[in-house]
Structure 1
């Protein structure tokens, strides 16, 4: 079972705004933030209260931004949340990587959308329930 995950970002403030909007559309919120003086670099944790489970951190010389793109999929409760995630992600500066829709090649009820974050990471919201 995964407890938490995260990604190093090249533009901390731009990425924080992107994730705050895109993940806010699916019920996540910015729960914790640590400045560089405390954590060695700026760090923000998103999730559903009380515990963050997705983290971003500002790239440093010792820990540069990821060179390879990463894929994260967030499971949501409804197709409407998938749609809201996609719209919020685009409005927050993300790039389309797959509009909301069914993807029956994964399974019959798979409904998802993909948005690239400011560093090009492929972020997905997926609903597995029939509507």
Structure 2
């Protein structure tokens, strides 16, 4: 559905440590991009779609941009419940903060295809990062 997205972080090292940790349980990789940014995606061989994460300020962003002034919500598809659990453990071990441990999500009035198993963590910049498995 998308080609790529990007967001800035305050601390490249802390962000890289966090996203290195959560990538593996989800079958993703972090890929070097520049001394102050990296990509999160499937692999260097299958680079798109990707998430650009870095401390640089791209020239096409407005001068009013503030890092995490409006935290984002980023949800990753997990292959199974075990990957969601591993994502949550890895995120907490890498400095993330719990924002909803692994478990079923969605009220009963939601259709079955909308309910899922997920976990939520807050990354080092205050963004809400989720991993979930539908079905």
* Fold in common (TM above 0.5): yes
- The answer for unaligned runs of 5 or more in structure 1 is 36-41
Secondary structure of the corresponding residue to residue 20 of structure 1: helix
Secondary structure of the corresponding residue to residue 25 of structure 1: helix
Query: Would you say how many aligned residue pairs link Structure 1 and Structure 2?
Result: 122
Per the normalisation by structure 1, the TM-score is 0.85
Residue 130 of structure 2: aligned partner = 124
Q: CA RMSD in A?
A: 1.7
Cα distance in structure 1, aligned partners of 2:79 and 2:34: 30
Q: Is the 8 A contact 2:105 2:117 kept in 1?
A: yes
Q: Is the 8 A contact 2:118 2:130 kept in 1?
A: yes
- The answer for unaligned runs of 5 or more in structure 2 is 58-62
Secondary structure of the corresponding residue to residue 2 of structure 1: coil
Cα distance in structure 2, aligned partners of 1:54 and 1:107: 29
Residue 55 of structure 1: aligned partner = 52
Residue 18 of structure 1: aligned partner = 18
Cα distance in structure 2, aligned partners of 1:64 and 1:43: 17
